Amino acid sequence: MSLVYCDYIAHTIKQHILAVDEDKMLASVSPIKWDLHPEGGYLVTTKKTLEMTDKYGRSYRVTVEEI
């Protein structure tokens, strides 16, 4: 069995972004979103997504997925 580290990588990215944003360039960083089935709610893929907004109102998405 081979482990997939999408959770770990997404968590590390989020923690690092929050830790180094000393100039407060980001207004918000979302919780890590899982790729869940819209109706059934079960895990579709191991993909994880973070969304953030900068202090000027522009939105960004960071996606971590196995390739």
Which pLDDT value is given to residue 56?
Answer: 97
Distances (CA, A) of 16 to 5, 13, 21, 59: 16, 5, 9, 18
Low-confidence spans in the chain with pLDDT less than 50: none
Which pLDDT value is given to residue 4?
Answer: 85
Which pLDDT value is given to residue 34?
Answer: 95
Cα 24 from Cα 42, distance rounded (Å): 35
pTM of the model: 0.84
Which pLDDT value is given to residue 1?
Answer: 60
